[in-house]
Structure 1
């Protein structure tokens, strides 16, 4: 079944992989980005800031991918604010919101009281972005009228990693593969994300993926 997918913050590297993967399966993709030029694989590109998007802009889509990212203290708030804005304008509609997450919020114990970002060895350099992703997830858990899914990548999220076509679908806990690795490429993450859009089996849930 051909689906209509909107990718928001489409100029980022994860977004471009998601667009390419969705297009390879024959889906209709509309990319929304801030740049004047379309440097995404999408044939249809709309220049519009994420925070200017309206309910009408996203009506008629089967799914909206929130690929908003930030890498500086000044921009970290973009991550939770993007989730809030998109969840708000999609509330009460059947349009699914699929959010690109970060590994720091995964739990490392069965009681779900300690996250990766809270462990002693978690690098200080990533604490800010991890906190921003945590805030986004915390908000989504309260968004009862939005059909959201939050997808955590593995700890080692590789922009240039190979597309193996294989991944392990996990849940709330930090998961290692059979080689004791927490790793996934952007390309394999995109496969998992588009699979989730097609299957729609984890509404209002957080899931995670790691290379098989």
Structure 2
């Protein structure tokens, strides 16, 4: 498949890019600084996310949004995702897959209490989590885009080894057999590329936890 990764030089973007390349997909890294991509097998589009156009994304089967807003600019999570949805509106061939947040997952069976609203949720993470939640809620209303929103577990670990094993869920925070809600970036990338290949969550949110 022909896959574009926005933010391919970031921690999650790098892992998703490596997983896609390992499986033989064609990958284009969309980054603001081309020099950050050193793999010569990867095409590079040096462009700011907010400058991307419908024509830029039209050639791809899937566009992975691994954008990460800088501190103080957390609202960019909302505006960036809205921009991507707008330029992909009506495009039935290109999927938009979002590296999302865990804050909007629910912790109860009735789906009334989200992670971000639990008493122990750190205040320092609330600006990011709340803006990611609002971005997701806006995306949920879009029937003109083939979107998929992928929330990680509560603990999203950059350097955890790849196991290739995970359990999927939808809107509830998952806990594994060890009583932990955790997944490494590498296993998250595995699940993301599995979703790109299999298309099981069109216009849906899903989540994954390490087994």
TM-score (norm 2): 0.96
Are 2:3 and 1:5 aligned?
yes
Aligned-residue offset at 1:38: 3.5
Q: Where do residues 36-185 of structure 1 align in structure 2 (5 Å cutoff)? A: 36-39=34-37, 41=39, 43-72=42-71, 74-94=72-92, 95-185=94-184
Output one character per residue of 1:66-109: Cα deviation in whole Å (capped at 9) or x when no partner.
0011241x221121111111111111112100000111110111
8 Å Cα contact 1:7/1:31 also seen in 2: yes
Aligned-residue offset at 1:40: 5.4
Partner of 1:193: 192
Distance in structure 2 (CA, Å) of the matches to 1:178 and 1:127:
28
Distance in structure 2 (CA, Å) of the matches to 1:106 and 1:40:
35
Partner of 2:19: 21
Provide the secondary structure at the position in 2 that maps to 1:56: helix
Distance in structure 2 (CA, Å) of the matches to 1:40 and 1:70:
23
Distance in structure 1 (CA, Å) of the matches to 2:22 and 2:42:
13
8 Å Cα contact 1:29/1:44 also seen in 2: yes
Provide the secondary structure at the position in 2 that maps to 1:103: coil
8 Å Cα contact 2:29/2:37 also seen in 1: no
Give unmatched runs, 5+ long, in structure 2. Answer: none
Aligned-residue offset at 1:14: 0.4
Structure 1 residues 137, 40: CA separation in 2 closer, same or farther (over 3 Å shift)?
Answer: farther
8 Å Cα contact 1:5/1:62 also seen in 2: yes
- With 133-142 and 34-43 compared, the bigger mean Cα shift is at 34-43
8 Å Cα contact 2:37/2:44 also seen in 1: no
Partner of 1:205: 204
Distance in structure 2 (CA, Å) of the matches to 1:38 and 1:154:
28
Q: In angstroms, what is the RMSD of aligned CA positions?
A: 1.1
- Which of the numbers 25, 28, 31 marks the counterpart of 2:29? 31
8 Å Cα contact 1:14/1:186 also seen in 2: yes
Structure 1 residues 182, 71: CA separation in 2 closer, same or farther (over 3 Å shift)?
Answer: farther
Distance in structure 2 (CA, Å) of the matches to 1:19 and 1:69:
16
Provide the secondary structure at the position in 2 that maps to 1:93: coil
* Alignment: residue pair count: 209
Give unmatched runs, 5+ long, in structure 1. Answer: none
